Amino acid sequence: MSASPEIEPIGATVPEPRQNDPDTLARQIVEKLTYSIGKHPEQARKYDWLRATTLVVRDRIIDHWFASTDRIRASKDKRVYYLSMEFLIGRLLRDAINNLQLTQPIGEALKRYNVDLDMVELLEPDAALGNGGLGRLAACFMESMASTGVPGVGYGIRYVHGFFRQEIAEGAQVELPETWLVHGNPWEFERRESSYEIGFGGKVMTQQEPGKPPRQVWRPAERVLAVAFDTPIVGWRGEQVNTLRLWSAQAIDPILLDAFNSGDHIGALVESNKAEAITRVLYPADSHQAGQELRLRQEYFFSAASLQDIIRRHLGENDSLDNLAEKVAIQLNDTHPAVSVAELMRLLVDVHGYDWAKAWTITRATFGYTNHTLLPEALEHWPINLFERLLPRQMQIIYQINADIIRQASQDKGFDGAQISAISLIDEGHGRRVRMGQLAFVGSHAVNGVSALHTELMKETVFQNLHQLYPERIQNKTNGVTPRRWLMECNPGLTGLLTDAIGPRFLDDIEKLADADPLADDAAFREKFAAVKRANKARLADVISDRLAITLDPDAIFDIQVKRIHEYKRQFLNIIEAIALYNQIRAHPEKSWTPRVKIFAGKAAPSYVQAKEIIHLANDVARLINSDPAVRDLLKVVFVPNYNVSLAEIIMPAADLSEQISTAGLEASGTGNMKFALNGALTIGTLDGANVEMLEHVGEENIFIFGLKADEVAQRRREAHSGRSIIERTPLLREALDAISTGVFAPESPARYHTLVSNLYNNDWWMICADFEAYWKTQRSLDSLFLDQNAWQSKAVHNTARMGWFSSDRSIREYAKDIWQAGPGKVT
């Protein structure tokens, strides 16, 4: 008999490439509805359509995911691991559909069942596993690594409850739990096979084997399991799909049966509750050290799990860890994963038997560290006794690293006592603490800031002495934002207009937006540009009308400040300006005022009293101004609750004016500033963070800079500046502050804002009084400019056309070349 043809080898059963026409997509969506969800199309609810559509898109992603994974494995290229406590992802469906170029056919497929793709996309919950800029940057970086062909894996924590939901009740912030996982998460795949034990506490023993050097062995008292959940991250045009691996904590023994059987039903679950607590909630602190034991547990938990995973993968493909740094780059996103430095040393020395010096060489060559803030209250430091109790072996390692560094600094560089205590990993000043910034710095071959100014300030302030010791180590990597989410997806109107005008090249290379620059002088183009903006403003006005029942005029200036609420970001300055403007409109109704809508949104850390007062004030001021017939439609103030990524996607394209008004020297970079300008908003801002580089790119005639510069702020602070004399000689400011402190905006509780105002009189730490007048004048010049729509829109076009450089693709290419030596065009 001839060989039977029925049985094919396994390799030949790879599925056919999927078709992306509307017919196929419609059929597959119904198939998913039927067989994965168990619903007939007629019975399907909106959420069922979301799920079915997601599953169809997901199948396509998986095909690309496998192909990418196989290609990277086969190439043996260096991999990049991005360790971040936060990934502020937002919704994924629109991003995936856009990057796979499926928007049109899926839209059409759903239309056949009378289902609207936009509506379906809006049902997806936001994945809010981050607080603000740092977490959103990590999400942009993940997308850009996939889009630029960098083989990157993100490692973080799978929080059950992400960033809290904010409601405003009687003007004040109320925090409610966020529950993004309640309906399940179709984007994640649990990988039980990638589980690791993570230890805490216990003792360190010295093991002496004959003829060998003594070895330290850590015997943890507690162990929990880290279980991996993988989410595919699709790059532009689906050419590469990377993985975001988030760790979830579980007890090794889910239930203590002995306790249960003896009737202690609660006690039986104690272990499991304690373990799961590690990944239950995101700490809602932005640029602020949380300081509790659970936070340190979170940090060690995800660092240790990620390192075990990295080492396991490396040893699966290589003979030893000798070449770890050639094949692996690990980026520490701020100091949150900095304990990784000590943990990798432990793994190399105690587990894999490396001598100390060799292990240190490998460790340093492997890590890079990004600093995101110089604010003293945000710099992480842990009390030694807590650290020692939780991580006894890592503590010993930190002492040893410290001793080496100090020896080197005093022997080679002749550092004196003050310099030594500045670089020491142990802060002896405030009840002995481990300084995580110093640990991350010495354990990395490259340390970077996130804007040019921030990087210079790092060298001059927090890391002055370490910079002296390692003058080559600090470099700059200015932040960026992904143009897929922050232009193409959030602003289809502008994307369409630009495509018609300059062709589609900018979709693949965002710096080609520069081709649109000459169109600033083209009246017909400016008109279309303005029409897109107006439509985006009308869309935001609809959202605000639905949520808050406030009516806005889309022809007014939309003046927007959205970001975390923080004293240094100076929402207070913006509110004071609104009050001063209100007073002026009432005092001079005969003048021709430019109608203005001031929009605020943002969350305050629950324990940050001043920030919560600022939210309360914004709402109190809004209530009074919006109900005063004397200002008619000349001024409106709106606080939009629950700012998140999805709301930002509606807000960014709808701004005429972007408020970036931090006290100079304190905003490390900012990324909202970039999103606004990319979408054609003009910026009013201080010379702070990336505003400085935005000025260089868009040109000084297209950005509105005011106020003290970073060195002037520092100087005033040294001189013990206070606001009193400025307030006394500035009637506009004085009247606004009097109104606040006499309870005009809070008649039910007139003393509510006493502290807020008296702080301005007594020290004005954030330079609100110092900058008020310059801010006011700049705002009034913008009022005039807005009346000349030709001039305004021309500047707006220049902003969009010149913002291409602020793409996270550019940031990632710089990291890949200068820090990781990985990715396309690598130098290994």
Interacting residues toward ligand CRA by CB under 6 A = 132-134, 137, 286-287, 334, 372-373, 378, 450, 479, 667-671, 689
Minimum CB–partner distance for residue 422 and ligand CRA (Å): 21
Per-residue buried b or exposed e for 543-560, using 16+ beta carbons within 10 Å of the residue's own CB: ebeeebebebebebbbbb
Minimum CB–partner distance for residue 807 and ligand CRA (Å): 15
Nearer to ligand CRA, 379 or 507 (CB): 379
Give kind and range of the element (H or E) at residue 251. Answer: strand 241-251
Annotation marks residue 499 as catalytic: no
- Which of 671, 686, 730, 800 is labelled catalytic? 671
Nearer to ligand CRA, 133 or 337 (CB): 133
Annotation marks residue 53 as catalytic: no
- Which of 60, 297, 477, 675 is labelled catalytic? 675
How far is CA 161 from its chain centroid?
17
Annotation marks residue 569 as catalytic: yes
Of the candidates 654, 705, 687, 680, the one whose C-alpha atom is nearest the C-alpha of residue 799 is: 680
Minimum CB–partner distance for residue 286 and ligand CRA (Å): 5
Beta bridge partners of 206: 216
Q: In 624-752, at which residue ranges do the beta strands (DSSP E only) sit?
A: 635-639, 657-660, 682-685, 704-705
Q: Are 557 and 634 in contact (CB under 8 A)?
A: no
- Which of 372, 570, 598, 813 is labelled catalytic? 372
Minimum CB–partner distance for residue 664 and ligand CRA (Å): 13
The C-alpha atoms of residue 538 and residue 119 are separated, in whole angstroms, by 18
Annotation marks residue 212 as catalytic: no
Minimum CB–partner distance for residue 482 and ligand CRA (Å): 14
- Which of 564, 596, 598, 612 is labelled catalytic? 564
The residue with its CB nearest to ligand CRA is 133
Decide: residue 748, CB within 10 A, 0-12 exposed, 13-18 middle, 19+ buried: exposed
Nearer to ligand CRA, 440 or 450 (CB): 450
Annotation marks residue 537 as catalytic: no
Distances (CA, A) of 535 to 111, 485, 531, 635, 720: 23, 19, 6, 20, 48
Nearer to ligand CRA, 520 or 690 (CB): 690
Annotation marks residue 372 as catalytic: yes
Nearer to ligand CRA, 444 or 793 (CB): 444
Minimum CB–partner distance for residue 566 and ligand CRA (Å): 8
Nearer to ligand CRA, 131 or 779 (CB): 131
Nearer to ligand CRA, 134 or 310 (CB): 134
- Which of 346, 435, 533, 563 is labelled catalytic? 563
- Which of 58, 79, 445, 569 is labelled catalytic? 569
Contacts by residues 672-676 (CB-CB < 8 Å, ≥ 24 positions apart):
672/133, 672/562, 672/563, 672/648, 674/479, 674/480, 674/481, 674/486, 674/803, 674/806, 675/481, 675/486, 675/648, 676/560, 676/652
The C-alpha atoms of residue 499 and residue 502 are separated, in whole angstroms, by 6
The C-alpha atoms of residue 535 and residue 493 are separated, in whole angstroms, by 8
Minimum CB–partner distance for residue 34 and ligand CRA (Å): 44
Residue count (the chain): 828
What are the φ/ψ torsions at residue 161 (nearest 5 degrees)?
A: -115, 115
Per-residue DSSP letter, 279: T
Nearer to ligand CRA, 541 or 668 (CB): 668
Cα-Cα-Cα-Cα dihedral sign, residues 538, 540, 546, 550: negative
Minimum CB–partner distance for residue 83 and ligand CRA (Å): 14
Residue 163 three-state SS? coil
Distances (CA, A) of 241 to 68, 136, 149, 411, 819: 6, 19, 9, 49, 22
Question: Hey, which residues are catalytic here?
Answer: 372, 563-564, 569, 671, 675
